Structure 1
Amino acid sequence: MDTGSIAWGVTATALVLFMTPGVAFFYGGLVKAKSVVSMMMMSFGALGLISVLWILYGFNMSAVGSPLEFAGNPFSDFGMTALASGETANTDLVGATYGATFAIITIALISGAIADRAKFGSWMIFAGLFATIAYFPIAAWVWGGGWIMNLGTTLFGEDAGIGVIDYAGGTAVHINAGAAALALALVLGKRIGFQKGITKPHNVPLTLLGAAILWFGWFGFNAGAEWLNELANVGLIVVNTVGATAAAIIGWIVVEKFKDGKATSVGAASGAVAGLVAITPACANLTPGWALLLGIVAGAVCAIAVELKFKLGFDDSLDVVGIHLVGGLIGTLYLGFFATETGLFVGGGIEQLAVQAIAAFAVLVYSFIVAFVIGFAIEKTIGFRVKNEDEIAGVDTSVHGEEGYALVD
């Protein structure tokens, strides 16, 4: 492979890695001032732990030799020893590291659902177990030769030209994280005094900074894999990543204006993230006009969906379900209607929608069950939620012995 393509692979890896600190800033600004350290530490903790697990065995699990396999053998190349000494080590190791950044951010995203009330040690145990049992195998299903990657051929044969489209992680990242977030929100229960308006973002500029970092890093997220494809579709991916995200901002703040009377900066940032989530699986398989429509729909629907937690009674602190689960479902299913050449409304049949729906809901159900079981087991043994008095006092000092802001008279 030429040095330019490898250089883009390294750059894209750095961009996606930078997205996890972006998540930390985005989430950190949304919580209480006395929870910001705890919130950001969950992202940085995931960054540290999942990187290590991926190098040791996660990468091995993320590819299979047959669609019938659940996951790859974790001990097939423990610690990447053979990969690092192969003839194509440069390319292989960059690709493996790029994959690690996806695993990291998927786990970090889940943490937003349990803001203000989770023990850090319990979170780290959950993160390691969920990555091992859920993310690593799902990555194999979607991108590593697994059953989702081969679903179209299995159902309709090779000649049909149908396959599940998930270019950058609608199922493996966003539906996966969103379903797990819902499970953990149910396990940990509601924050003290949970109701609409329970807390206001303590630092709106921090949240906007996080959203900006995420949008910046998302070009590595969506266009990064094109380094293996000689950048064949990079122009389409880039314009769709801009267009859908921008349209989603408009969709969100219009709904917000009609619903609450004001368009807010946090709403604009949330809309941007919703658009990024929705375009993730679809970025290489939509024309720009359909990408704009996807953004408008995702922004508007997610703006409504984030209110469901109050009606349904689950405390998803930072709207991981409303943005990532709902946005991921929208982007994944939308391809069934508008994917270039195979979508139902652009020359295709029902087949594309069928495989998209099967993949989306299979990942949703599996991730929810795994997260719920792991979270429930942790809560009933060592405890996942902090004591009520620690929640009221602020988890930063009780869990980490630090304060986000040192105020001096």
Structure 2
Amino acid sequence: MIPAIRRRYNETFTNEAYQAMLSWLGGQYNHDPKFHVCETPVFFPRAFREHVLAACRDVLEVVTAPDYAEKAAAAIPPGEFVPGQNDRPLFLQLDFGVCRSTTGEIVPQLVEVQGFPSLYYFQALLDRSFRRFFTIPEGFSARFDGSTPEQYLQTLRDVILAGHDPKNVILLEVDPKGQTTRIDFVVACAELGIAEVCISEVELEDGKLYYDHEGQRTQIKRIFNRVIFDELKARTDLQRRFNLIEAAEVEWAGHPNWFFLISKYSLPFIDSPYVPETHFLSELEHYPTNLSDYVLKPLYSFAGLGVNLHPTLEDLQAVEHPEHYILQKKVTYAPIVETPDEPAKVELRMMYLWPPDSERPVLINNLVRLSKGEMIGVRYNKGKSWVGGTLGYFES
């Protein structure tokens, strides 16, 4: 999007430097990513930065309102309410497609919001990796709060541990060693001094949670939660003594209810030029006649599962539970990042924390995914290069 910088990066790029970067990145914590790390970051100009910050303000005005959690309570599916909900989310992710307006300007369009952690630790490692092996122009940063790398990690440590002894804090996931994003868990646990624990290894006894810490039965006092209910329910092979929904004497670094409260369920509530028209399918008295301009999305899914890019009237009429779906005006991603073969489309995640002592959520990092397929995601980009996970450097 900044032609001179893009041209310079592409002309000086070598596969040898890229492979050296991947080797160095994997060696820092003795773990290689299970996903494709893109060959390039994305350089965002100041004008786009201003657009996306304005878009974030519009979204946050809605999802951080004092009455929002009550308004969105129906988002939590029956049988999946977790006791001990915090009065606000600790983590927020705002995902935007990078599009071209009718005037030709590059602008963000919201596609998803999440009250759930993202790859906060891996993105910091990726920043260090790109800066070590490639030239990042002066005045460009992946972070927004002016923090140094050390301050960034300390902020995460403060909000996740919240003063607890690390042995009493765990990163909780379903089969963490099998997750595609495990490198983020590995880095997080190394930096925090905590263990990654499968939910099948947690015991609930007399309202308290325990796990095995270096051979000692140890109480869990705080959970850095990475469990998603969809996956938990799918893993019927895992014998469990704790299912999240039981009352337990534990704190949450990222309470599970916020995964539902701030989600696709939030989109119909947001009125902004940066948010495409979105409706709960159940609330539409008449379906749009131009359905080719819309996408049908299930509320309760992740990683793009169940999304219908080309819904028909018959598809809509066949939905058994229309209250579990939204109909959203399509977002057309602009192929704007020049690569050696064809331009790539961009999806940008703005990554927030909401520390207890902060009046408003704090924007601290970002994540970018490049695609040359119909959608963002691995299965749409098989065999392609200069796609996948990366980060954005924003002009200050």
Normalized per residue, which structure has more helix?
1
More strand by share: 2
The TM-score with structure 2 as length reference comes to: 0.29
